Structure 1
Amino acid sequence: MRHLRPSVDVQITTAMDPFSIAAGVVGIAAPTLHCVQVLLEDLQNIADAPNAVKALTNDLQSVDLALVSVQAVTDSQWKLLGDAVTAQSKAAITCCKTSCERFKTSLDRWTRHSTDGTLSWRDRATLGVFRQGHIKSVSEQLQNCNITLTSVASIATLHISLQQTQTAEEIKTMISTKETTVNDAIAATNDLSAEISAQLETLTLAEPDEGETDADQTATTKQVAMEKKALAESRKVLEGLLSVIQTAAANAQACQGPTVTFGSYNQGQQVGVNSGTISATFGGRG
């Protein structure tokens, strides 16, 4: 469409220490956020967009929020997450940026017959029928990116949350909840990866559909391949986060030490054998 802006290679500078851990992530997160916002604006400017395209705007908005939350992670929190998770997060964000840039290029080509935010009948058919597989792949990748980056931001604050938690039971519940969330995300990523691998094999062997050019089929195949790569990067991030959770749990348990609990009479003196720090509470008669 004529109103759509061309793709640009954006360089965004920050005042952050270039040698800090966070600077490396922000260095890719900022231009990725810009790409997401440009693509989102382009899609929103299509007044009569097909439902699949409208749904894609929701995915972009979610990734926008996730990227902002990742940018808020402090340098000290990245250090707690570790070098591996930091590097893997950068790789996952890079995949998202590349996919958005490629999709914008395809979108410009698919809507070249339209003007002023209104799709021509030819472009409407292109988006509504022939490009469903491409759009679906981008949507899945954005959804996975959102889950991954939201998990990174959530686990980044885990250590502080554990320090503020008062009881062993609260710590246990918090750790269990985080582990379940990340494990569920890993399982979903594995399932989708298997599905995408099969789809990619089919696309590689298939002939272009009627009304589809070789260039369009190549673009779709490249997008699905990018989705497969992005899923692999996300799985690495999530597995790294699971390790961070387990380490945080062990540290919290070691710092808290055992607790002595008195019986139902809540009085008198009880003696046990203990090799660590004791936290005891004495009370009067009930």
Structure 2
Amino acid sequence: MSDPLSITASVVGITVAALHGTRRLLEDLQQLKDAPKTVKRLVEEVHSVNTALTLVQDVEDREWELLGADLAELLRTTIFNCKQACDLFRTDLQRWTRHSEDGKLAWKDRANVGFFKQAQIKAMSEQLSNYRLTITSAVSIVTLYISVRHSHITEEIKKTISTTQAEVKSAITTADKKLVILESKLDDINLSDDDGAAGFIEGKSETLRQLEGELKAAKVSQKLLNSLLSKSQEEAVAKAAVPSTTVTFGDQNSGLQAGTINGGVNGISFGGK
């Protein structure tokens, strides 16, 4: 069995690496002058993922333990997939813009990025959007657990639970739709005929690799989101809260009666002679 401490530590470790990856990709994208709109949208998504990863980094190792080792491992895998997607796309971007210098796109590269690679750029934006939703959902749940660790389930916390559940359910709906789309695209490209042209075969191979990576990552994200939804149930959250204790003093209402109370007190009754 994996050590929970090592798993939560690996969440923090992979987050540091992922932040490095997103920032390097962001630097490369921002260097492109007069970039197409799809690239500008991608820049926004990379910014958003970077912010989400920073939120993960702000949570201490021991606090991720509140969600359990299995969920922490799913989160670690999701963040790793995000890092890998950014690294692979950065490699592709450098290849697509290899004729350009000082951020100014050469005409050949402009045609490549502005037309031929639009589908891949758009797909990357959508992929990062899904990562952002999944990662921020995890942060919302762990924040909820942290908030009840030293208190009870109040009406305010119940409202927070309801809001968090709605957010996670929305993310699950988005993830489910994305899975259907990816599986359909993968089927289409596998059924398509190769026309023998080297450029076509290379493009198909590149698209296939991207789709397979997206599908694999989407399945992990879907599993993580479903686990988060389970953790967001009020009964599950209540287990992380301070246990309530009912204290009853007996029928001796005179003299000193002392004891130790562990946890909160939700009921005190005094007996009488």
**Which residue among 160, 167, 179 is the counterpart of 2:165?**
179
Taking the aligned partners of 1:42 and 1:154, their CA distance within structure 2 comes to 31
Q: CA deviation digits over 1:99-158, x for unaligned, max 9?
A: 111111111111112112111121111111111221122111101111111111121111
- How is 1:1-286 mapped onto 2 (pairs within 5 angstroms)? 20-162=6-148, 168-207=154-193, 212-246=199-233, 247-251=235-239, 255=243, 277-278=266-267
Q: Where does structure 1 lack aligned partners over 5 or more consecutive residues?
A: 1-17, 259-275, 281-286
**Cα RMSD (Å) of the superposition?**
2.8
Q: Where does structure 2 lack aligned partners over 5 or more consecutive residues?
A: 247-264
Per the normalisation by structure 1, the TM-score is: 0.77
Taking the aligned partners of 2:54 and 2:179, their CA distance within structure 1 comes to 26
Taking the aligned partners of 1:249 and 1:23, their CA distance within structure 2 comes to 23
Q: Judging changes above 3 Å, is the alpha-carbon distance between structure 1 residues 33 and 253 closer, same or farther for their aligned structure 2 residues?
A: closer
Taking the aligned partners of 2:164 and 2:108, their CA distance within structure 1 comes to 48
2:56–2:139 Cα contact (<8 Å) kept: yes
Shift of 1:227: 1.2
Letter in 2 for 1:249: V
Q: Judging changes above 3 Å, is the alpha-carbon distance between structure 1 residues 168 and 68 closer, same or farther for their aligned structure 2 residues?
A: closer
Taking the aligned partners of 1:196 and 1:62, their CA distance within structure 2 comes to 22
Taking the aligned partners of 2:203 and 2:37, their CA distance within structure 1 comes to 20
Shift of 1:193: 0.6
1:141–1:230 Cα contact (<8 Å) kept: no
- Quote the residue 2:251 is aligned against: none
Shift of 1:190: 0.3
Taking the aligned partners of 1:211 and 1:119, their CA distance within structure 2 comes to 24
1:106–1:219 Cα contact (<8 Å) kept: no
Identity %: 41
Shift of 1:166: 7.3
SS at match of 2:102: coil
Taking the aligned partners of 1:229 and 1:86, their CA distance within structure 2 comes to 18
Shift of 1:255: 4.1
Taking the aligned partners of 2:100 and 2:210, their CA distance within structure 1 comes to 24
Q: Which moved more, 1:190-199 or 1:216-225?
A: 216-225
Shift of 1:248: 3.6
Shift of 1:57: 0.6
Taking the aligned partners of 1:200 and 1:20, their CA distance within structure 2 comes to 36
| Aligned length, in residue pairs | 246
Taking the aligned partners of 2:78 and 2:139, their CA distance within structure 1 comes to 14
2:63–2:146 Cα contact (<8 Å) kept: no
- Quote the residue 1:268 is aligned against: none
